Structure 1
């Protein structure tokens, strides 16, 4: 499966647009880690627990989007993007989305 942020794939043309596909996940940190993160903000620097949580969330959202594209028989997802939003303190939603397409080699 080709995933690209561009609207075109070099060497191919879009034969058919199958529609918008997305995958999302809402994740939160463990309360103990959330408290540790609060102390880390006082000193400054990277909050590794949140970095790890968001990396895992992006991977899950991407995987879910790809599965949706595969169900449609897509060769690629073009115009791929991530979006995030805070649901509540310590919880975030990550959304992966793009346009599922069939490709034809040129």
Structure 2
């Protein structure tokens, strides 16, 4: 599935707009990962556990958006936007939105 952040696709003509599509994923941070992340914040370095969880949530949100697009019969998504939002004290929500289109 062709997925871009731009409003158009260079070299392609948009034939049909199907409307807004989206996907969401919520991940929880477990207690041990929180503790190790705080230790890394103090001594420096990257919080690998959080980064892995964030990548997985982002991919899940994109996969949901792509599945919705395929159900509509579209073959591309333009104007893709990813948003991240804290939910409570220990959860993160990733939302992916875009416009489903058919390109030639």
Per the alignment, in what secondary structure is the counterpart of residue 95 of structure 1? strand
Deviation at 1:72, TM superposition (A): 0.6
Please identify runs of 4+ aligned residues in structure 1 that moved more than 3 A: none
| Partner residue, 2:18 | 18
Aligned length: 104
| Partner residue, 1:88 | 88
2:77 is the alignment partner of 1:77: yes
Deviates more, 1:31-40 or 1:76-85: 31-40
CA distance in 1, matches of 2:54, 2:90: 11
Give unmatched runs, 5+ long, in structure 2: none
Give unmatched runs, 5+ long, in structure 1: none
| Partner residue, 1:63 | 63
Q: TM-score, normalised by structure 2?
A: 0.93
Counterparts of 1:9-48 in structure 2, within 5 Å, are 9-48=9-48
Deviation at 1:4, TM superposition (A): 0.7
Q: TM-score, normalised by structure 1?
A: 0.91
Per the alignment, in what secondary structure is the counterpart of residue 11 of structure 1? coil
